[in-house]
Chain A
Amino acid sequence: MLSTKRTSTTTQDQDGAAKAAPPGPPPSRVRRPSRWLAWGFLAPVTIYLAAFYAYPLYRNVELSLREYTVRSFVQGGAPFAGLDNYRTVLSDPAFGPTLWHTLIFTGASLVFQFSIGMALALFFHQHFPLSRTLRALILVPWLLPLIVSASTWSWLLNSDSGLVNAALGAVGIDPVNWLTSPGWSLTSVIIANIWIGIPFNLVVLYSGLQGIPVEMYEASALDGASSWQRFWRITFPLLRPVSTITLLLGLIYTLKVFDIVWIMTRGGPTGSSATLATWSYRLGFGNMLPEFGPGAAIGNLLIVMALIAGLIYIRIERRQHLR
Chain B
Amino acid sequence: MTGLSRRRRLAAVAVIALAAVTASACSSSGDDTSDGGGGAYLVWDPYPQFAAESEWVSLLKKCGTTAGVTVERTGYDTTDLTNKALLAAQQGNSPDVLIVDNPVISTLAEAGALTTTDDNKLDVSAMAANLLGAGQSEGKTYGVPIGANTLALYYNKDVLTAAGVDPATVKDWTSLTAALTKVKAAGKKGITFSAIGTEEGSFQFLPWFWGSGAQLTSLDSPQAVSALTLWTDWLKQGHAPNSVINNTQTTSWQEFATGDYAFAENGTWQLANAEKLGFSYGTIPIPANAGGPAPAPTGGEFVSIPVQKNTGRYETSQKLVACLTNADNLLATDTTLSYVAPVTAVQDRQATADPKLKVWVEAVRAAKGRTGDNLGTKYPKISESLWTAVQAALSGGKSPQEALKAAQTAASTR
Tell me if A107 counts as interface (CB < 8 A to partner B): no
With A71-B111, A266-B198 as contacts: A161 and B395 at CB distance below 8 Å: no
Tell whether, in the assembled complex, residue A266 and residue B196 are in contact, meaning their CB atoms are under 8 Å apart: yes
Tell whether, in the assembled complex, residue B243 and residue A159 are in contact, meaning their CB atoms are under 8 Å apart: yes
CA–CA, A73 and B291, complex, Å: 46
Tell whether, in the assembled complex, residue A180 and residue B392 are in contact, meaning their CB atoms are under 8 Å apart: no
A residues 239-291 with Cβ under 8 Å of B? 265-270, 272, 285-290
Tell whether, in the assembled complex, residue A180 and residue B242 are in contact, meaning their CB atoms are under 8 Å apart: yes
CA–CA, A90 and B380, complex, Å: 23
Give the Cβ gap from B345 to chain A, nearest Cβ, in Å.
32
Tell whether, in the assembled complex, residue B83 and residue A290 are in contact, meaning their CB atoms are under 8 Å apart: yes
Tell whether, in the assembled complex, residue A290 and residue B86 are in contact, meaning their CB atoms are under 8 Å apart: yes
**Residues from chain A with Cβ under 8 Å of B245 in the complex:** 177, 179-180, 268-269
Tell whether, in the assembled complex, residue B392 and residue A269 are in contact, meaning their CB atoms are under 8 Å apart: yes
Which of A73, A285, A288 has a CB less than 8 Å from the CB of B380?
A: A288
**Residues from chain B with Cβ under 8 Å of A161 in the complex:** 243, 255, 258
Taking residues whose C-beta sits less than 8 angstroms from the other chain, chain A's interface range is 20 to 34
With A181-B396, A269-B394, A290-B83 as contacts: A74 and B243 at CB distance below 8 Å: no
**Residues from chain B with Cβ under 8 Å of A285 in the complex:** 83
Number of interface residues of B (CB under 8 A): 38
CA–CA, A158 and B244, complex, Å: 10
**Residues from chain A with Cβ under 8 Å of B394 in the complex:** 180, 269
Tell whether, in the assembled complex, residue A75 and residue B395 are in contact, meaning their CB atoms are under 8 Å apart: no
| Interface residue stretch chosen among B3-11, B26-34, B38-46, B102-110 | B102-110
Q: Mark B395-406, 1 if CB is under 8 A from A, else 0.
A: 111100000000
State the main secondary structure of chain A at its contact with B. loop
**Residues from chain A with Cβ under 8 Å of B305 in the complex:** none
**Residues from chain B with Cβ under 8 Å of A62 in the complex:** none
Tell me if B112 counts as interface (CB < 8 A to partner A): yes
Tell whether, in the assembled complex, residue A74 and residue B90 are in contact, meaning their CB atoms are under 8 Å apart: yes
**Residues from chain B with Cβ under 8 Å of A182 in the complex:** 395-397
Tell whether, in the assembled complex, residue A265 and residue B246 are in contact, meaning their CB atoms are under 8 Å apart: yes
**Residues from chain B with Cβ under 8 Å of A272 in the complex:** 395, 397
**Residues from chain A with Cβ under 8 Å of B377 in the complex:** 70, 289
Tell whether, in the assembled complex, residue A70 and residue B111 are in contact, meaning their CB atoms are under 8 Å apart: yes
Identity of the chain A residue whose Cβ is nearest the Cβ of B14 in the assembled complex: A44
Tell me if B384 counts as interface (CB < 8 A to partner A): yes
Tell me if B388 counts as interface (CB < 8 A to partner A): yes
Q: Mark A10-41, 1 if CB is under 8 A from B, else 0.
A: 00000000000000000000000000000000
**Residues from chain A with Cβ under 8 Å of B255 in the complex:** 160-161
Give the Cβ gap from B329 to chain A, nearest Cβ, in Å.
28
CA–CA, A317 and B48, complex, Å: 50
Q: Mark B98-125, 1 if CB is under 8 A from A, else 0.
A: 0000011001101111000000000000
Tell whether, in the assembled complex, residue A180 and residue B380 are in contact, meaning their CB atoms are under 8 Å apart: no
Q: Mark A153-172, 1 if CB is under 8 A from B, else 0.
A: 01000111100000000000
A residues 43-77 with Cβ under 8 Å of B? 69-71, 73-75
Q: List 24 A-B contacts (CB under 8 A).
A: A70-B110, A73-B111, A74-B112, A75-B111, A75-B112, A159-B241, A160-B242, A161-B258, A180-B242, A180-B395, A181-B396, A266-B197, A267-B197, A269-B246, A269-B392, A269-B394, A269-B397, A270-B397, A270-B398, A272-B395, A288-B103, A288-B104, A289-B107, A290-B86
- Which residues of A line the B interface, CB within 8 A? 69-71, 73-75, 154, 158-161, 177, 179-182, 265-270, 272, 285-290
